[in-house]
Structure 1
Amino acid sequence: MSEPWLVHGPDFNQWNGDLKRLVDLLHEAADDPWWCYDSQLKYISIWVDTRDNGFVLKDRDGNRISPERVEAAINKWRESFR
């Protein structure tokens, strides 16, 4: 794994920071079917707070997920197929 993802807000409503990092991660993995390692991530929703670019991720069923989970699936794919 890389650096920890930034979070802000109270424990019951934490938002992630560094939206650009997430977008870059997804862009770099765009041609790889990395979501095969976690099929709930084939479709993700990104909710962005436009005041500070904080974001929340949700899986295909609307469950809140962490960017670490996305990063882990991408890294697992890369380790297996690159």
Structure 2
Amino acid sequence: MTETLEIVSFRLKPEAAADFVAQNGVVTDWLARQPGFISRHLGEREDGSWVDVVRWRSLEQAQAAAQRIMTEIGDCEAMQA
């Protein structure tokens, strides 16, 4: 198997920015329970956008998690931000 990096760039809704990092524990905890999860790095860029880099053991495991995440935790505050 080849490791896979999932890289997501996004902007927050203005009203969500203050609590975003604190709210992300739900997402990190969910990811940590997924088969193939290795690590996650979340950071804010100088222009105010964000990048979320998730390392997976395989592309298939990354895709499987991507298919489930919105159904399972899509309504949490971090995902709605």
TM-score w.r.t. the length of structure 1 is 0.37
Larger relative contact order (CA 8 Å, sep ≥ 6): 2
Per residue, is there more strand in 1 or in 2?
2
Structure 2 length normalisation: TM-score?
0.37
